[in-house]
Amino acid sequence: MEKRELYEIKDNQLVRKRKTCPKCGEGVFMAEHADRYSCGKCGYTEFKK
């Protein structure tokens, strides 16, 4: 996946498409799997409901 696929422009503002990691902070995106979101940097995982 390319970096440009992680962002979009709405009303002249840059919007992130993916969730960010609450432990690592802004700039670290979480991977989206079928049943969970996970951070590749710290290993934090959130399960989907």
pLDDT for 2: 87
pLDDT of residue 10 exceeding 90: yes
Decide the pairing of beta strands 20-21 and 13-16.
unpaired
For the segment 11-23, the average pLDDT, to the nearest whole number, is 94
**What separation, in Å, do the N-terminal and C-terminal C-alpha atoms of the chain show?**
26
Q: Give the distance from CA 43 to its chain's centroid.
A: 13
pLDDT of residue 31 exceeding 90: yes
